[in-house]
């Protein structure tokens, strides 16, 4: 992604002041429980290229990180008495010490009017910087802090704010196939009230929408042959969803009533040919309402072998547990994620831990009482786990719960990507 040039950031002072907020669940840390967050750094001298000026007598260098159309790299300009020096006359090295103890070292070669660092300055641009330069046989050294996406919170304050962590490592990542479907009453959940012999309906004891129990008297019919009247009970317990005949009507092929048991549900999903070989009986499925507000875990109970002539889709039946949430009603549309396979990801994090920071998807790692952003390249994702392709080291301790607290504290400090 192309970004405009930025310059090597100013130090962020870690202050033991402020109030931390946990907005996701409406809780907040009381001021007395708050201990420390990153404070905005004071300004520093900027050079002609808007970089950080480092001076030693009449010799100076200007340190920038250039990332306009390229991976971030150091560009350093040298001056004597504020006049540009030929880059070939200066020998330079920079060492970056990161929060987790990693040290990145950069050698420099002259290019045009600047010294170019060999290698990429990887995100986050948060480190302690040590600079060594030699000009005309004299050595010059500087050191400073350049932090971004970093904050310090005491263990007590983090615990009070609900911050929880885990260790990043391998995890099973399910292969999911998403499909649309609808909720239907199972065949066992439907019953038709029919006359046993042709005749005239004498009495009816049921109304549309009425709840009835199995064996309850619903109609009396006078047989056309014997002229005897017989009773017709409800074949199952449930709700009357159809009423097709009235008193005085003559029974025929139509059912008098249709009863449905609203607790006996399944979801019918439309399986396209490209997914037909993947879907199997017994596979777990996450069934969701179209709004996404209601979810439940279920399993495939059947895959019908015949395809619809028009759409060429198969029907997969997913059993919905008895007493399923009232959000699932017969005839309503639903979405389903079918787990058709699983593979072990070498490195993964909890999906709920991922936050947005600048233009990145990130997690926050914890080193002692300090938290710092890690920009991630992500792979496969499920509601529980997300594969990490780069940006995080195996064994890192990262925030799973309360990540918003960390992000809010960093953003409140005004810590920006300013180099």
Query: Mean pLDDT, to the nearest integer, of 14-37?
Result: 34
Question: What residue ranges in 326-369 does DSSP mark as E strands?
Answer: 333-350, 355-357, 360-367
Tokens of 130: 């040590």
Domain-by-domain residue ranges, the chain? 40-147, 177-184+264-338, 188-260
pLDDT at 31 over 70: no
Percent of the chain predicted with pLDDT > 70? 87
**pLDDT for residue 10:** 34
| Non-local CB neighbours of 322 within 8 Å, separated by 6+ positions | 263, 264
**pLDDT for residue 311:** 80
Confidence band (pLDDT; 50, 70, 90) for 60? Answer: very high
- For residue 171, the SS3 value is strand
For the stretch 222-258, pLDDT in tens is: 999 999 999 999 999 999 999 999 999 999 889 999 9
Say if CB 74 and CB 121 are below 8 A apart.
yes
Output the average pLDDT for the chain: 87
pLDDT at 4 over 80: no
414 compared with 7, residue with greater pLDDT: 414
**pLDDT for residue 174:** 86
For the stretch 139-193, pLDDT in tens is: 999 999 999 999 999 999 999 999 999 999 999 898 889 999 999 999 999 999 9
For the stretch 337-363, pLDDT in tens is: 999 988 899 999 999 999 999 889 999
Same fold yes or no, 177-184+264-338 and 188-260? no
Confidence band (pLDDT; 50, 70, 90) for 41? Answer: low
Confidence band (pLDDT; 50, 70, 90) for 38? Answer: low
Neighbours of 123 (CB within 10 A): 20
**409: closest CA among 25, 151, 159?**
151
**pLDDT for residue 25:** 32
**pLDDT for residue 22:** 31
Query: Mean pLDDT, to the nearest integer, of 403-407?
Result: 90
Say if CB 377 and CB 388 are below 8 A apart.
yes
Distance between CA 194 and CA 239 in Å, rounded?
A: 16
Say if CB 253 and CB 228 are below 8 A apart.
no
pLDDT at 326 over 90: no
**pLDDT for residue 175:** 86
CA 39 from chain centre, in angstroms, equals 29
DSSP conformation class of 384 = S
Is-cis flag, bond preceding 204, omega within 30? no
Distance between CA 303 and CA 340 in Å, rounded?
A: 14
Beta strand 333-350 pairing with 385-390: antiparallel
Distance between CA 37 and CA 369 in Å, rounded?
A: 11
What fold, for 188-260? OB fold (Dihydrolipoamide Acetyltransferase, E2P) (2.40.50)
For the stretch 289-307, pLDDT in tens is: 888 888 888 999 999 988 8
Query: Mean pLDDT, to the nearest integer, of 96-122?
Result: 97
pLDDT at 12 over 50: no
**pLDDT for residue 358:** 87
Q: Does residue 147 come out as left (phi exceeding 0), alpha (psi in the -120 to 50 range) or beta?
A: beta
Confidence band (pLDDT; 50, 70, 90) for 324? Answer: low
CA dihedral (176, 181, 185, 187) positive or negative: negative
Distance between CA 255 and CA 245 in Å, rounded?
A: 8
Distance between CA 221 and CA 204 in Å, rounded?
A: 9
66 compared with 405, residue with greater pLDDT: 66
Confidence band (pLDDT; 50, 70, 90) for 2? Answer: very low
Distance between CA 181 and CA 269 in Å, rounded?
A: 4
For the stretch 187-212, pLDDT in tens is: 999 999 999 999 999 999 999 999 99
Distance between CA 50 and CA 61 in Å, rounded?
A: 12
Superfamily of domain 177-184+264-338: Efflux pump adaptor protein, beta barrel domain (2.40.30.170)
Architecture of domain 40-147: Sandwich (2.60)
Q: 153 burial class (0-12, 13-18, 19+ CB within 10 angstroms)? A: buried
128 compared with 313, residue with greater pLDDT: 128
**pLDDT for residue 5:** 41
């Amino acid at each position: 992604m192309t970004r405009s040039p930025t310059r090597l950031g100013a130090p962020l002072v870690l202050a033991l002041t402020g109030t931390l907020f946990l907005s996701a669940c409406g809780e907040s840390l009381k001021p007395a429980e708050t201990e420390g967050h990153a404070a905005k750094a004071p300004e520093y001298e900027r050079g002609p290229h808007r970089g950080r000026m480092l001076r030693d007598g009449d010799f100076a260098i200007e340190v920038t990180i250039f990332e306009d159309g390229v991976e971030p790299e150091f560009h350093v300009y040298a001056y004597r008495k504020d006049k540009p020096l030929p880059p070939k006359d200066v020998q330079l090295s920079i060492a970056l010490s990161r929060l987790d103890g990693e040290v990145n070292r950069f050698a420099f070669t002259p290019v045009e009017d600047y010294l170019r660092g060999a290698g990429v300055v990887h995100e986050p641009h948060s480190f302690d910087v040590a600079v060594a330069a030699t000009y005309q046989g004299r050595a010059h050294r500087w050191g400073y802090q350049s932090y971004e996406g970093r904050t310090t919170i005491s263990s007590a304050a983090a615990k009070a704010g609900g911050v929880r962590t885990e260790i990043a490592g391998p995890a099973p990542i399910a292969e999911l196939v998403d499909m649309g479907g609808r909720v239907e009453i199972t065949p066992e959940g439907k019953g038709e009230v029919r006359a046993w012999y042709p005749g005239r309906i004498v009495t009816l004891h049921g109304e549309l929408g009425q709840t009835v129990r199995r064996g309850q008297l619903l109609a009396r019919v006078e047989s056309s042959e014997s002229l005897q009247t017989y009773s017709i009970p409800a074949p199952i317990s449930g709700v009357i969803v159809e009423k097709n005949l009235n008193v005085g009507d003559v029974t025929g092929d139509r059912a008098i009533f249709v009863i449905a048991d609203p607790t006996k549900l399944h979801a019918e999903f439309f399986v396209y040919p490209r997914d037909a070989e993947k879907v199997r009986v017994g596979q777990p499925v996450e069934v969701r309402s179209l709004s996404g507000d209601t979810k439940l875990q279920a399993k495939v109970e059947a895959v019908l072998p015949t395809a619809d002539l028009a759409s060429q889709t198969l029907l997969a039946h997913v059993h919905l547990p008895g007493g399923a949430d009232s959000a699932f009603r017969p005839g309503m549309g639903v979405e389903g994620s079918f787990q058709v396979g699983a593979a072990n990801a070498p490195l993964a994090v909890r999906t709920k831990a991922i936050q947005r920071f600048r233009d990145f998807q990130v997690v926050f790692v914890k080193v002692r009482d300090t938290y710092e952003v890690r920009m991630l390249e992500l792979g496969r994702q499920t509601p529980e786990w997300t594969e990490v392709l780069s940006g995080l080291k195996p064994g890192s301790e990262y925030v799973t719960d309360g990540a918003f607290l960390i992000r809010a504290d960093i953003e409140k400090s005004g810590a920006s990507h300013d180099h």
